[in-house]
């Protein structure tokens, strides 16, 4: 059975360059045999966090939250595609993520960041490591940081120039690393139930 991987993307801006990166990742994972799906925070459109999913009585959570909780629980792994706002996380993606907790447990996550500048969202990338680990995910050591995104992927999401070639190489290694951890976590769950 194909690995089920959710790719989360969180920009709410009208001119979203990062969506081309998120789409590339979903297509790239599918080409590698994964069952990958994009979860766009803007499309899901959860309200600012008032109550977490677990704080609603059973069957009373808003329908988009309920549907996403099921997808998260059924996933084998996650990728967070994040831009960087003033050295920090995109609020839309963070808000979506914070609605859930136990649903994330015991699965690996990878981080792909981007920016219009040279650093490729490195500050947001680093900030996500601690957040995802606190939420019960195993964050893989491989990461991808795409600087000057407009010079790396064209508007259709096709890698361009030397930056695009470098990104393609980095994505291959990143996807291999995530796949290894997905396989390891599946085997461990078959061997022994999580401790909580």
Structural domain boundaries in the chain: 4-191
pTM of the model: 0.96
Average pLDDT over the chain, rounded to whole? 96
- The band of 196, judged by pLDDT with boundaries at 50, 70 and 90, is confident
Query: What pLDDT digit, counting tens, does each position of 142-178 carry?
Result: 999 999 999 999 999 999 999 999 999 999 999 999 9
Task: List phi, psi (to 5°) of 75.
Answer: -80, 150
User: Which architecture does CATH list for 4-191?
Assistant: 3-Layer(aba) Sandwich (3.40)
Query: What pLDDT digit, counting tens, does each position of 78-136 carry?
Result: 999 999 989 999 999 999 999 999 999 999 999 999 999 989 999 999 999 999 999 99
pLDDT at 123: 96
């Amino acid at each position: 059975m194909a690995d089920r991987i959710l790719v989360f993307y969180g920009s709410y801006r009208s001119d979203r360059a990062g969506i081309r990166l998120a789409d590339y990742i979903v297509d790239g994972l599918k080409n590698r045999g994964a069952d990958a799906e994009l979860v766009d925070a803007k499309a899901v459109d959860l309200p600012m966090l008032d109550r977490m999913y677990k704080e609603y009585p059973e069957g009373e959570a808003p329908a988009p939250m309920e549907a996403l909780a099921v997808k998260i629980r059924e996933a084998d792994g996650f990728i967070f595609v994040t831009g960087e706002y003033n050295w920090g996380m995109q609020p839309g993606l963070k808000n979506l993520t914070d609605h859930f907790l136990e649903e994330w447990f015991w699965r690996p996550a990878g981080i792909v960041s981007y920016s219009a500048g040279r650093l490729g969202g490195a500050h947001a990338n680093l900030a996500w490591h601690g957040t995802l680990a606190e939420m019960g995910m195993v964050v893989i050591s491989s990461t991808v940081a795409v600087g000057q995104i407009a010079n790396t992927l064209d508007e259709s999401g096709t890698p361009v120039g030397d930056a695009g070639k470098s990104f393609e190489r980095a994505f291959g290694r990143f996807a291999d690393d995530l796949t290894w951890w997905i396989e390891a976590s599946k085997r461990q769950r078959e061997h022994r139930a999580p401790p909580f």
